[in-house]
């Protein structure tokens, strides 16, 4: 017999762009999703917001570095970036999804001044310029 969770009624609320940006503005950990040569990939990254763009560091020559370099000048590769905060006990939380082109960037243009949690050489900077920002919040009624 399947067990049923004892969950109170919850309300799902769509969030506006400004609320989404407010929620993710402190930075932290998010997930970046993109199409790679071997199929869809989702990777956790720690990020900052710099001049309205998502900025994170990754390993030079790694999967993301290779898959985002097409050699075609002016070609935008759109990727997704998601951040969420969930309280499993209270059955509430929020999730923000950003979609936009990813660009290789240098430290001077991103001014990130933060260390990658993954450690090692993470000297490759990626900047995502938001084109679409959506979010949801769920909480008890």
pLDDT tens digits, one per residue of 52-62:
899 988 877 77
Q: Using CA of residue 51, residue 53, residue 59, residue 60, what is the dihedral sign? A: negative
Position 33 confidence tier, pLDDT thresholds 50, 70, 90? very high
**52 assigned to some structural domain:** yes
Does a structural domain hold residue 139? no
CATH of the domain at 55: 2.30.110.10
**Spatial separation of the C-alpha atoms in residues 105 and 85, rounded to whole Å:** 28
* 1 is a domain residue: no
Total structural domains in the chain? 1
What range does the domain containing 16 cover? 11-134
- Kindly tell me if the per-residue pLDDT of 13 is higher than 80: yes
Q: Is residue 140 part of a domain?
A: no
Instruction: Please indicate, yes or no, if residue 5 is contained in any of the structural domains.
Output: no
Report pTM.
0.80
Q: So what's the pLDDT on residue 90?
A: 86
Q: How far apart are CA 136 and CA 54, in angstroms?
A: 19
Q: What is the pLDDT of residues 44-88, one digit of tens each?
A: 998 999 888 999 888 777 767 666 766 666 667 889 999 999 998
Q: Does 107 reside within a domain?
A: yes
Is residue 27 within 8 A of residue 45, CB to CB? The reply is no
pLDDT at 115: 66
Using the structure block, give the residue that is written with the tokens 């050699």: 71
The owner of tokens 């969030």 is: 15
Question: Has residue 53 been placed in a domain?
Answer: yes
């Amino acid at each position: 017999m399947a067990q049923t969770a004892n969950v109170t009624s919850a309300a799902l609320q769509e969030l506006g762009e400004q609320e989404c940006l407010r929620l993710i503005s402190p930075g932290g950990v998010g997930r970046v999703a993109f199409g790679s040569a071997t199929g869809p990939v989702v990777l956790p990254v720690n990020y900052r917001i710099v001049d309205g763009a998502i900025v994170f560091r990754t390993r030079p020559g790694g999967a993301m570095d290779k898959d985002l370099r097409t050699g075609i000048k002016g070609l935008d590769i759109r990727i997704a970036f998601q951040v969420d905060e969930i309280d499993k006990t209270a059955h509430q939380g929020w999730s923000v999804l950003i979609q936009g082109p990813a660009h290789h960037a240098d430290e001077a243009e991103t001014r990130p001044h933060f260390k990658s949690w993954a450690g090692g050489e993470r000297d490759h900077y990626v900047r995502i310029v938001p084109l679409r920002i959506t979010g949801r919040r769920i909480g008890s009624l």
